Amino acid sequence: MKTISKIAGMRRWSEAARAKGRRVAFVPTMGCLHEGHLSLVRKARREADLVVVSIFVNPLQFGPKEDFKRYPRNLRRDAGLARREGCDALFVPSPREMYPAGYRTRVTVEGTEEVLCGRSRPGHFSGVATVVLKLVNVVWPDVLLLGQKDAQQAVVIKRMLQDLNAGVRVVVCPTVREKDGLAVSSRNSYLSADERRRALGLSRSLFLARRLVRTGERRAAVIIAGMRKVLSEAGVTDVDYLEILDAAELTPLRRLDGDVLIAAAARVGRTRLIDNVRLKV
Ligand code: PAF
């Protein structure tokens, strides 16, 4: 595995791969690699000839009161994991390399600030869209792999790449969960033992929603009321949102129909967690 920190070096690597007719799959990450990321790398291996993983904690997608400074970073561990999963190139640019002095451009996908995490994290998705477009312009992949856990992020990135004719196929992979159901996330490392127990309320509320849908319930309000009860019983009181939406358009649904996203966000202690389930109704 080659570790590359410069944009020019990454470009050369990608151009050489392309010149040999090799297809490139790309997994963008902010590091602190966990089973969710590694499942994307494994899928990437099956989707293309070569796999690039990027590790870059993107300052543009953190709000002023968010956890940019304390976001977990461990490049040596991450590099070992990426190598073991068969990553071919690890791209680890510095903030200065990505955003040199004078940098001024942002990409915005209209409408993303009005729903789900966009409401409580102004600027977050434009930060994500911007860095992903920059990374795609450097790595030049055929296929990009993202996790379903960040459902809104996947919708925003897909829209942006399609709207800007990037010619990159996006594959969204299922959320990886711990044995007890908690969605795997880098931010789980912030949780104390008690918070970790309470955080289970999130996945439990979503599993309840899924059971209700499977047994024929179609009223969003009824499902959300059930979810709210599960969260409150688990001791999760600081709920940011519980929403039922069309999975592709992210428009709210009153009755469940078609490709449905049930999404939840809550703060447990100081940690904001998100999770969702996607259902064909
Ligand atoms: O999901 C993440 O880790 C980040 O939002 C991403 C896609 C790597 C962009 O910084």
pLDDT of 10: 98
What DSSP line would sit under 112-151, residue for residue? GGGSTHHHHSTTHHHHHHHHHHHHHHHH--SEEEEEGGGH
For 6-25, the pLDDT digits (tens) are 999 999 999 999 999 999 99
For 127-158, the pLDDT digits (tens) are 999 999 999 999 999 999 999 999 999 999 99
Q: What are the residue ranges spanned by the domains of the chain?
A: 2-173, 186-276
Q: Does 144 sit in the ligand 1 pocket, CB within 6 Å?
A: no
Q: Does 153 sit in the ligand 1 pocket, CB within 6 Å?
A: yes
Q: Establish whether 124 is a catalytic residue.
A: no
For residue 135, which of 11, 1, 49, 32 has the smallest C-alpha distance?
11
pLDDT band, residue 239 (cuts 50/70/90): very high
CA distances from 134 to 60, 61, 137, 138 (A): 12, 13, 5, 6
3-state SS, residue 53? strand
Kindly report the pTM of this predicted structure: 0.97
pLDDT band, residue 80 (cuts 50/70/90): very high
26 CA from centroid of ligand 1 (Å): 12
Average pLDDT over residues 194-204: 98
CA distance 94 to 129: 18
Question: What number of residues does the chain have?
Answer: 281
- Class of CATH domain 2-173: alpha beta
Ligand 1 nearest-atom number relative to CA 57: 10
CA distance 208 to 206: 5
CA distance 21 to 50: 11
Q: Does 58 sit in the ligand 1 pocket, CB within 6 Å?
A: yes
CA distance 69 to 62: 10
Summary mean pLDDT of the chain: 97
Residue 116 exposed, middle or buried by CB count within 10 Å (0-12, 13-18, 19+): buried
CA 1, 33, 61, 163 torsion-angle sign: positive
What architecture (CATH level 2) is domain 186-276?
2-Layer Sandwich (3.30)
238 CA from centroid of ligand 1 (Å): 24
CA distance 86 to 77: 15
pLDDT band, residue 72 (cuts 50/70/90): very high
pLDDT of 150: 98
